[in-house]
Chain A
């Protein structure tokens, strides 16, 4: 069985010579540029340079479908590679505000090993803040911050013999990475790739899937609701149970990798449990960003002060509630002017009592003196 080089082994390598040299340069320059860091100055000329943050340049923007775009990223040397199926966090500036979202890496690890690039394929979520910007407004040349690759939904190091991949909608990205990795190592023959898309126009990577069907030996089955797409022979509404039974009769004997909406995951789990094949089923859920306030009217909002391990119920300002809970957070003007009380909100929705503005993102700073909880909130306090 073919061994794919695992990036987890790369993580144990020593820092590169370039990184060590940079460290020396920075240490020498540090006293001269105090209180800035040498990196602040160097980055004006070399925008990807950093010893702390994984920065990536958007080297190309490739439209895939009307609402899906692939961003080709070239990360700096701090990025230690990824495994097929993993995801990473992308921190991009949207309307001037840094926002973080998670995306699966769609490209094969081999692409990063050979060309130093990775690809994320993003679908614009209707009504979303970040994804429409990344899909329709992202320009090549931008510098974004990314995280290490994460996640355990990966292609095993010992490649399975005849893997089955099932995905729906934008859930195609992690399994596409797996298929691409197999194909690049000439291991795709025997693999089956099942994909559900709403319409033929929504089939992401349609051309490439066609090529895989023709040249890499993988069996590609694409179902769309409206009409047969270029790659799909069968079509009709998504019914994983019937489709697999009819077209992949031996599915329960194959290592199966599934990513898609909750309905698909539920159907697959039930099917594999019935056949006693649950251990061969590997799933990745992708949940849409939660943007609505979780205020269901009846229940009283609750704030968890994570560091102090205290909980407080009520609907007063976060600062007042912290003090009620016996904490003494830093505070100043108590009217939203001085930013002394700024504190990290780990999760939950808060409302600015002056403007009524909701803060829905996780891991952002809020001024606790002028914000009240809406539903459950966790503060790093």
Chain B
């Protein structure tokens, strides 16, 4: 891994980060539970309001407002509530409705599969080539170290499709779909088949209210309600795609060889998460709607800390990074996204992607 720290410096960096981690962990409690419950109540109110307004969609502004409310409700449930609860950030509360082991989120990926593919694989092996499937979701070439093949020529199109169907892309990324399709039935991994069946079942139950039940209830306004629900789902997909892609793929994020995992120390783990992740800046609303994944660096270093605390932790972490001369990758949402899009286009062709020189420090 590319950094200029001596083993002693790495050690002391690790200690300082651990201290930050534990000091915040010790402070987690009542205020965090109150916060997430307020968010949950607001999210439910938005969902009900959105569905209600869509029933009044004979009045066009109601359609717009309803679709907006429903989009927000879906985004908040996935990003600030679901993703964070499933990480066990609120497990300390021992409350049944905030329990990572039993929470079922409004996402196509069943929670238990998500805990494996995301909490375990992605968060433990972040940006390790060949192990972390989030690195390109098995279809995109996001680092020059990934070998090129002609299929990558079309990857800007794949990426656009992934943005629109992000739930599906993320939901399936614990399944090697391509291999599965071309396999003979007898060769298929029964566990993979079971996982696919579970995803299918959940996808159907999730699609029914949006595309059948609510439109049916709306009677003559069925098409408007159907369209509003469709748009809300697309908005959620595109927003999640944007947030997630800005978390690990902007210029300056490092990928790693599996060899770095042997006997990895806590300090090295923190450093790998720092180098493999990127933040984007924004106001409180942007941070909130991203489920605080605008602080992807903090999220990867401290996945068990309630995410709404990341902005405050970031201030302290940046001081530590500056002290050790480590790059803290952040930029505007637009800037980070632009660098991801450029990279996707560049890496569609064989050869290396040349990052702007200022970003090569990591």
Contact = CB atoms under 8 A, between A and B. Distances in A.
A32 B96 CA distance: 22
Interface stretch (A281-289, A312-320, A334-342): A334-342
Contacts of B93: 93, 96-98
B106 A339 contact: no
A35 B105 contact: yes
Nearest to B51: A32
B17 to A, nearest CB: 13
A339 B30 contact: no
Interface stretch (A36-44, A173-181, A184-192, A202-210): A36-44
Interface string B98-140: 0111001110000000011001100110000000000000000
Contacts of A31: 205, 208-209, 213
B326 to A, nearest CB: 21
Highest count of chain B CB atoms <10 Å: which of A35, A40, A99: A35
Contacts of B123: 333, 337-338
A34 B205 contact: yes
Given A338-B115, A340-B115, A342-B100, A97 B120 contact: no
A258 B34 CA distance: 42
Contacts of B334: none
Contacts of A96: 28-34, 92-93
Interface residues of A, number: 28
A31 B116 CA distance: 27
Contacts of A97: 29, 92-94
Highest count of chain A CB atoms <10 Å: which of B30, B202, B266: B30
Nearest to B212: A31
A98 B205 contact: no
A39 to B, nearest CB: 10
A34 B22 CA distance: 37
B101 A365 contact: yes
A167 B345 CA distance: 81
Interface in B64-121: 87-88, 91-97, 99-101, 104-106, 115-116, 119-120
Interface string A30-66: 0111111000110010000000010000000000000
B48 interface: yes
Nearest to B30: A96
B124 to A, nearest CB: 4
Contacts of B311: none
Contacts of A332: 115-116, 119-120, 124
B206 A339 contact: no
A364 interface: yes
A49 B106 CA distance: 23
Q: B-side binding surface: helix, strand, loop or mixed?
A: helix
Contacts of A335: 124, 266, 269
Nearest to B18: A354
Contacts of A364: 94
Highest count of chain A CB atoms <10 Å: which of B116, B124, B214, B266: B124
Interface in A295-344: 332-333, 335-340, 342
Interface in A337-361: 337-340, 342, 355
A31 B310 CA distance: 35
B177 to A, nearest CB: 23
B309 interface: no
Highest count of chain B CB atoms <10 Å: which of A32, A36, A40, A337: A337
Contacts of A333: 120, 123-124
Interface residues of B, number: 45
A355 B93 CA distance: 18
Interface string A88-106: 0000010111110000000
A337 B92 contact: no
A338 B126 CA distance: 12
Interface string B259-272: 00000001001000
Contacts of A36: 104, 106
A337 B31 CA distance: 22
A113 B106 CA distance: 42
B91 A338 contact: no
Contact of A35 (B28, B45, B91, B206): B206
A332 B44 CA distance: 32
B203 to A, nearest CB: 11
A347 to B, nearest CB: 16
Contacts of B95: 93, 98
B303 interface: yes
A34 B119 contact: no
B29 A340 contact: no
A340 B209 contact: no
B6 interface: no
A12 to B, nearest CB: 28
A309 B303 CA distance: 34
Interface string B190-234: 000000000000100110110001100000000000000000000
Contact of B94 (A32, A98, A337): A98
A34 B212 CA distance: 13
B29 A339 contact: no
A336 B205 contact: no
B41 interface: yes
A95 B34 CA distance: 10
Contact of A365 (B91, B97, B266): B91
Given A32-B213, A332-B116, A339 B88 contact: yes
Nearest to A333: B124
B22 A355 contact: yes
A337 B124 contact: yes
Contacts of B22: 355
A40 B44 contact: yes
B120 A35 contact: no
A381 to B, nearest CB: 14
Contacts of A342: 88, 91, 100-101
Interface of A: 31-36, 40-41, 44, 53, 93, 95-99, 332-333, 335-340, 342, 355, 364-365
A-B CB proximity, top 4 nearest: A332-B120, A96-B30, A339-B88, A96-B33
Given A34-B205, A96-B93, 7 more contacts: A35-B105, A35-B202, A35-B206, A97-B93, A332-B119, A339-B91, A342-B88
11 contacts: A32-B214, A33-B209, A40-B44, A40-B97, A95-B30, A96-B92, A96-B93, A97-B29, A332-B124, A335-B269, A339-B87
